Amino acid sequence: MKAHWSGWRNLAYAGLLASAFAVAVLGSWRYGSEVDNWAYDYMFRHYQPAPWQTQSVLLAIDEPTLQLSNGMRGIRGVLAEGLRRVAAAKPKAVAVDIILADPGDPAENAALADAFRLTPNLVLSCQLINNGAQWEDPLLQFRRWAAAVGHVHAEPDPDDSVTRAISLEKRAGYDRRWALSLEAFRLSRGAPILESPSDLRVGSTIIPAPRTSAGRLMRVRFVPLNMAPIPRVSLAALLHDASLARQFTGKVVFAGVTAQTEVDRIFTPYAYGAVTPGIEINANAFETMAQGRFITDAPVLWVLLFCAGITIAIGLAFFFLPGWRAYAGAAAILLVAHVTPYVFFTHERVFSFAATVSVAWLAAIIAAAYQHLVVRRNLRRAEADRGKYQQTLHFVTHEMRTPLSAIQGSSELISRYPLTEEKRKQIADIIHSESKRLARMIEVFLNVERLSAGQMELKRETMPVKDLVDVSVARALPLGDRKRIRISLEPIPGDLRITGDRELMEYACYNLLTNAIKYSPQHTEVRISCRKDNGYIRVSVRDQGIGMDQKEVKKIFQKFYRTRRAEESGEAGTGIGLSIVQQIVEQHGGEIEVMSQPGEGSCFTLVLPVAAHAAAPTAAEQY
C-alpha cells in the first residue's frame, strides 16, 4: 500500500512534523505548566520509593497546647518550659518557626530567652515585610542566643497555590537570609554553606539549587505515603510527660504551630484542599537535604532531544510501515511518551509531561492525517491514471490498426494474387511506409516513458537555429502541400545558436509545425519566426486555426489530453506529442509559451537559452 513519496512531498511531510514539534513544545512551555503540575503531583502520590529513617521531629503547638497557653499570646512561657526539656535530651539542632518580633510579656520573654540559652544550635525564624523591603527579626534578647536566623517563606505555585519547592535564600536589599531548614541542616552537620552559581555544598552534601531570578529553588521531597510521617510530639503532651523528650535525642527539632486555627493556608502535592503546617514543610525540606533525595528538573536540552526523537519516530513509523502497523507503531511511541516522565521521576528527575505528550499526540495526528490524505490522493490518481491509460489504449489500438491493416492487406495481395512488377513495387512501398509509421509511433510512446523516468540521455552540441528550423520545414512541406497550407519562414540570422540534443530539438520543432498544419483549415498560412531576446532565442510557430480558450491552454501539455480543435478537425492523435515537446524543452533549460484565442489561431513559442559559447561549425554545417 505504501508508495514512494516524491521529494517535495517528503519535504512537506518533514515540514509539517517540524511544525508540530515546534507548536507542541512552545505551547507546552507557555500553557502546559498546570498539566506538568498535575502529572508531578500524581507521580508524587503514587511513586513509593524505598523507605528511609527520618532525622527530624516536630514539636507541635497544637490545639491542646493553645488551650494550655490561652492562645498564641501566652505561648512563650509554655514554649520556654518545653524547650528546656528538649535541650536536656541533647538534640542536634532546634529550629523555631515562630516570629518573635513583638514585645510580649517581659517575664515570659525572660523565661524564653533563658530556654534559648540552653538550647544547642538554635535557629530562629524571620520573614520579609513591607513588600520584601526589610526583615522582621526576633527580639534582640532572643536573637543573641541563636546560632542562626532563617527565613520561613514557602514558594506556592501561582497557578494552584501548591508548595512544591522552597527558596533556600531570600534577600531584602543586600541583607540575605538562608532558609530555616538549610540553617538547621548546616548546624546539624557542623559545616559551613559553600555556594557556587549551580549549587550549594554543606559538608559532603551537594544541594542542586542553581541561582536564578526567583532565588535558589529546591524541590521538597515530602516523606512518601508508604512511610511513617515525621514524628510529631505535642508541646502540651511533653509538658505533661517529660519522658517524651527522649524522642528528640540526636534529632533536629522543628518547633512550630500545627493547630489548624492558626496555621497559614499552605498546600502540598499530597494534601489537595488540606492545610499543611509551615513547620512541617520546613521539616520535609530538611529531610530532603539530610537524605540527599533531591528532585531536579531534567535539562531543557534533554526534553527537546527526546521530543524531537518522538517526532522523528512517529514520522518514520507512518512513512515506512503500511496500514495498521503504522498505527500500532505510533501507539507504542505514544505509550513511551506517557511513561517516560514517570521513569525519570523514579530517578528523581522532573521531565516535562506536557511537552512529551503534546508533541507525541500532535505528531501522531498530523502524520496519520497526512498519510490518510496521501493514500487517498494516490488512490484518486491511480484511478485517474487507469482511466487515462484505458483511453491511451483506445488511441493506440486506433492508431496502430490502420498501419497494421495496410501491412496485413498488402502482404495478402502479394501472397495470393499474381501481380505485375510495378504493382508489387507499389505494395512493397506501402508496407515499408506503414511499418516506418508504426515504428515511429512505438518510438514516440517509448520516448514518453524514458523522458518521464529521466532515462533519456541528452546529447550536447551547439547547433544553428536556422538549420534546425530548415530541417523541420523541409519535413513538413509535403503535409502542408496536401492541405494547401502555405508555410512562411521569416529570415533567421545564421549566428543564432543553441546547445542541446539535435535530434530531440528537431522533433520538438517538427511537432509544433505539424500540429499547426494538422489543426489549420485549408488555404491558410503557418508562419515561423525566430528572434533573440535577453539571452534567449524565441522560435514561434503561428497558425490560423480555430484556436483554444484559456481552459484548454492550461491542459494541452497533459499526457493524452485531446483539445477541441483536434476533435473538430477530425485529426487522429494520441495527445502525447506536446507532453514530449514540453519535457524536451524543459530539459534544455527552456519553456514553451502559448498564446491562443478561439477563432484567431494559436502561437506556440519555444524559449531556449542562447549557447554560452558558439562552437566551431561542424563538417556537416560547413557542407
Query: 172-181: string of b/e by CB count within 10 Å (b at 16+)?
Result: beeeebbbbb
C-alpha cell recorded at residue 336: 513511551
H or E element at residue 357: helix 353-416
DSSP symbols for 443-482: HHHHHHHHHHHT-PPPP-EEEEHHHHHHHHHHHHHHHHHH
Q: What is the pLDDT of residues 106-126, one digit of tens each?
A: 999 999 999 999 999 999 999
pLDDT (tens digit per residue) in 143-174: 999 999 999 998 888 888 899 999 999 999 99
* Residue found by looking up cell 517528503 in the block: 10
Q: What is the pLDDT of residues 205-231, one digit of tens each?
A: 999 999 988 889 999 999 988 888 999
Query: What string of DSSP letters covers 241-283?
Result: -GGGGGGGTTSEEEEEE--TTTS---B-TT-TTS---HHHHHH
What's residue 136's pLDDT? 96
Residue 99 confidence (pLDDT) above 80: yes
Q: What is the CA radius of gyration of the chain?
A: 46
Q: How far apart are CA 623 and CA 618, in angstroms?
A: 9
- The closest alpha carbon to 472, from 533, 520, 515, 521, belongs to 515
Say what the alpha-carbon torsion angle 185, 187, 188, 189 is, to the nearest 10 degrees: 90
User: What's the farthest any 2 CA atoms get from each other in the chain?
Assistant: 151
Q: Which of 508, 529, 507, 525 is nearest to 516 (CA)?
A: 525
Q: What is the pTM of this model?
A: 0.64
pLDDT of residue 12: 86
Residue 616 has pLDDT above 70, yes or no: no
Round to whole Å and give the CA distance between 256 and 154. Answer: 15
% the chain with pLDDT above 70:
85
